[in-house]
Structure 1
Amino acid sequence: MTVLSVNVNKIAVLRNSRGGSGPDVVEAARICLDAGAHGITVHPRPDARHIRADDVGALAGLTRARGVEFNLEGNPFAPPRPGYPGFIALCEQARPAQATLVPDGDGQLTSDHGFDFHRDGARLRPLVARLQDLGCRVSLFANAHVEPDAAAVEAAADTGADRIELYTGPYADALAAGSAASMLARFGEIARRAQAAGLGVNAGHDLSQANLGAFLQAVPGTLEVSIGHALISEALHDGLAATVRGYLAILARTGEGPMGSSTRR
């Protein structure tokens, strides 16, 4: 069965926009796990725009106590800076079950491409080995929206990584435009090549309730999906009505009527 790892970055974005501690990232992760999620994903960036180093430690403790996967994403080539010790150092501290390496830069709004394994393979190989020595399963973010490249898959496998994570943003865009068939065929082919090379297949980016089912049918054997932005967006919409009703119930209990007027006689 494909497992779900919930990315809680967006909870941290909301917290950081106001300052303070709310909404609480760890509490949000706990709610996701209580609902049955199989793990938690975060992608701490050097600029600390959402998840911070202290969040990583707290979430590592939560997932370890629950016996579920903690998936830490990041660019292993990004240099350390104040507040960000570097991705490998974070993994040394948190010991996540899975480390997902992503080639994103500081200026990117979100991760939007995978590694060029022909170019980056030699640099990745020692980092993959170091992370595996820490006990991490290693997954590499990979493009699959171009023509399937058998040599690229072999280069990914040659790094020693355990899995690749297929970057699914182009599939989500194609499905929204009503032209997903050829894109799904490409994803299915690259997944088969990866599996034949001994790599497990994960997937993530812009997957949602609207497009996840079709993707999994076209890419059988997907081990894990990491979903954050869409899941949090859907939860906001699905939960707004219940939350508004909760506030109205408080007002009713304290005697407040419409427009704040008192209902007392």
Structure 2
Amino acid sequence: MNTIRPERRQGPALLRGSMVSQSTHDQRLLDRRGPADWVHMDPWRVLRIQAEFVEGFGALAELPPAVTVFGSARTKPDAPEYEMGVRLGRALAEEGYAVITGGGPGCMEAANRGALEAGGISVGLGIELPHEQRMNEFVDLGVEFRYFFVRKTMFVKYSSGFITLPGGFGTLDELFEALTLVQTRKVTSFPVVLMGTRFWGPMIDWIKGTLLADGKISPPDVDLIRCVDDVAEAVQIIVGADQERGETESRERKSVGQVVADAE
């Protein structure tokens, strides 16, 4: 009788059985306990982190314009948000966007599936976790990462915007990281769209009724989030932001050209 052995992706390596460690690279990087041998280990970790950036940049550099879709890995294939994810991935691909997800099951799989079925490019950026999450079968290009912060950099660098389906802690982490980058102008013309007003509505109400009311954020910060139910509307927000960004860049090039002409 065949026994299913534990399995984990560790960067480019696949480990099974007794080779699977009980901790992850992120855990060991952030753990301050134990002997002082970390003094000798951290320089090597820096090189490994550098290698992950190089591998990620190399794998994703030639992608067409892309949109990252976040959402729960626990969503079942018969759930309404799974079907919404498939329609979303399909609609984005039909507009010429590559679809990037975390590469796992649930909402991520749904968006990758929609993109693949529509003939688009379907990308998964996986992460090493204590309980292995396999790359879903609808991914064309999959990249596995050890460190969350490297993976998050890839999500932002190669995306024209984020669309977030219902999800849990991981989804919230990715959502608020994106909002912080937009709020602090680390990224510009970067739309953040929430799909599902029933799910996200209470959070939006709390943001307005507590964060804004208590002065923890400013009124323009609320406008950084768009919450919709319609797939076509969500995609149009991305397309509109891209068009606006292109027009702004065109005006800036013309302005620079005029300055140069005047100087001559």
Q: Same fold (TM over 0.5)?
A: no
TM-score by length of 2: 0.30
